[in-house]
Structure 1
Amino acid sequence: MREIKVQEITAAVSKLCKDSCYYLPEELLEKLKASIATEESPLGQEILTTIVENAELAKAKDVPICQDTGLTVVFMEIGQEVHFVGGDLYEAVNAGIADGYVGGYLRKSSVDDPLFVRKNTGDNTPAIIHTTIVPGEQVKITVSPKGCGSENMGALKMLKPADGVEGVIKFVVDTVRSAGPNPCPPVTVGVGIGGNMEKAALLAKYSLTRKVGEHNPNPQYAELEKELLKRVNMTGVGPSGLGGSTTAVAVNIEYAPTHIGGLPIAVNLNCHAARRAEMVL
């Protein structure tokens, strides 16, 4: 049994909040740079160039890539041999977010009551926390801030099994096309297939923690990711929704077993600032 003080979790989360908002994942930045040369639209090339310049300036100056530093989504893979000491784990995570957002001069976007009061909590807490128990004695923390421009464009549908692969393709492409410029393309498309309603949505969100260019290990789903990326980029939405051939940089699929009568599917979109930072303790 390994003991981890929750104060270590607080410090890690605080750092990850700032890192994720300041520094675009390197593989994504390289993909955006490469897209400039392949983009068919001159305006699209100009927009991609500006996006890359913005990301590089944010990194150089330690400032947010985007003013919408989002709700803070935290995925934690917790080794079953770990014992947390010194306080409550969730309180420690939220303390890290408060410290990171206030100390890092990141915009606070969380409101306490979603319908009537909508008062800002002042420190971007509470986080949206997803925990998974895994073998071992380590803790992997992934922080993925999510702005609302892209989050609002997510969609979920309970397809019929007979809809099959073509039904999945149609739903994903239609979702991206309908989103248009709102999620600040080029997007990363997260797709969750299977489970039930809430599981499909969680799978779609979790898929966005995967590196751009890293495919699902199942070869059939990997091929579907490639086909979906091709179809999405044929929509012509383009960078910033102003036309072009670079509507998305990646499509990531996660799947789970489901009921014999169901085929749930969810789509979650990340904007061009697909923010993510992780640490293993």
Structure 2
Amino acid sequence: MPGEIATPAPAGRQASPAYLNWQRAQVRRRIGIVAAQLGLIAAFLVVWEVAARMLWVNPLLTSYPSAVTSSMITLLQDGVLFKHTWVTLVETITSFVASTALGVVLAVWLWLAPTARRILDPFLVVGNAVPKIALVPIFYIWLGPALSIYGIAIAVAVFIVLLMVHIGFEQTDKNKVKLVRTLGGTTWQILTKVVLPANRSVIVAAMKANIGLSLVGVIVGEFQSAKAGLGYLIVYGSQIFQMDMVMCAIVILGVISLALFVGISLLEKWITDVRLIRAEN
């Protein structure tokens, strides 16, 4: 009947017509969504190209897709684009791993030390609110041109992980915690058997937010001091007024951001599948 939710057919049984219809509807829905997304991208590129060709906008300031594509091919042939992309990618992944690990460790420490949490709460709020771009010159002086990129990226990204995971820990089911404690469980056992497993999804969500912030932090750091990387390429292109190069670097940044997000989503799916398999066993 309309409105009913079809459930997967049990293993070893032939799927019902209702389930097959539901499955086909889901496939059509996914195809429609992807088609709409590709259509929006195509429409944007067409409007951008036409607007620049017809001089509705100044092509010297906005460039246009065909010129960006030509610039990308030239940079790829010269090996320049791969070099700068690789530098930014390594810096982003390193900063992402470091900020995620640091944020989770600090969240665990705050959960283990309630007094410290009460003392540090206002400072964490202030630290998260401070515009991190204002710290770029300080990190440059303290850490030098190379390490300052990692410093600012970690500073940008660590607070979102810390706050999200910390809030998740605080919202863990109190009854489960009390039950384990009543049965003689230690604080470490409560953390590893109750709190952390209950917050897997929170940690993954924090990672999704963190990956984009890590990339933002790396680009901001590269603007200041880098001699390689996509941030450096953007600054260099703007200085010589080569907007094709600037737009090319921005497109590559979008591709990197999408690829990293998809990677985290696949990790989330894998964790979910592992949990389901363990639950069935």
Shorter-chain TM-score tier: under 0.3
- Largest Rg, 1 or 2: 2
TM-score by length of 1: 0.22
Relative contact order, CA 8 A, sep 6+: which one is greater? 1
TM-score by length of 2: 0.22
